[in-house]
A and B are shown apart, each in its own frame.
Chain A
Amino acid sequence: EIVLTQSPGTLSLSPGERATLSCRASQSVSSTYLTWYQQKPGQAPRLLIYGASSRAAGIPGRFSASGSGTDFTLTVSRLEPEDFAVYYCQQYDSSVLTFGGGTKVEIK
């Protein structure tokens, strides 16, 4: 099973600042199957990024992502108030689908 480790666990930032979130895999992950989600309290997760770097429909341009192999990054260029949430990375390797533990982006 591929383990995804997200860091930091919590990111304390102010609106307008840049957020950089990391997702590291225990073994190589196909970029096709690396996904990022955003979850707010009391809500279902929302698809942000698929295929490691493609924004899902309706996702603002301030969200971007990159990476390959075992290291992936999600960046929010300028945090808006609605961006404070928990972010998860996820992979699928044909045997089991796993999520990272999440990074909470909180208001400083």
Chain B
Amino acid sequence: QVQLQESGPGLVKPSETLSLTCTVSGGSVTGSYWNWIRVPPGRGLEWIGYTHYSGNSKYNPSLKSRVTMSVDTSKNQFSLKLSSVTAADTADYFCARWESNQKAFDIWGQGTVVTVSP
């Protein structure tokens, strides 16, 4: 049973870079497309983008200029970097697996809250 676990700082200063990691257990990070999704306080879900171990990544156009995602096969992890953060980037960040047959997010991490504040 594949499980995902997010990790990273819960507090980031404005203008700095938010960095999160998602560890994949019970399966290989080489097998799927891996996504980041966030939920700002009081708002709905926002897709940030996906990455694949082949190096193929796609990002939400609204965030594309600030987002980098990558996969570390040696650690069975994938990561998110979001640069030049502002208070608007405060959110609950989830990693999730895109299941290619169902074409949906079938496995999610528990989420990690990131607050952008001085």
Which of A15-23, A60-68, A75-83, A88-96 contacts the other chain? A88-96
| Total cross-chain contacts (CB, 8 A) | 56
Pick the contact of B103: A32, A46, A88 (CB < 8 A).
A32
* B39 and chain A: residue at smallest CB distance: A39
Taking CB atoms, residues of chain A closer than 8 Å to B94 are 44-45
Stretch at the interface among B11-19, B40-48, B71-79: B40-48
Q: Is the CB of B45 within 8 A of A45?
A: yes
Name the CB-closest residue of B to A45.
B108
Interface residues on A, range: 20 to 34
Which of chain A's residues 15-43 have a Cβ closer than 8 Å to chain B? 32-33, 35, 37, 39, 43
B104 touching A44, Cβ below 8 Å: no
Q: What 10 A-B pairs come out closest when comparing CB atoms?
A: A44-B108, A99-B45, A50-B102, A50-B104, A97-B47, A35-B104, A101-B44, A102-B44, A47-B106, A47-B104
Set of chain B residues within 8 Å of A88, measured between Cβ atoms: 44-45
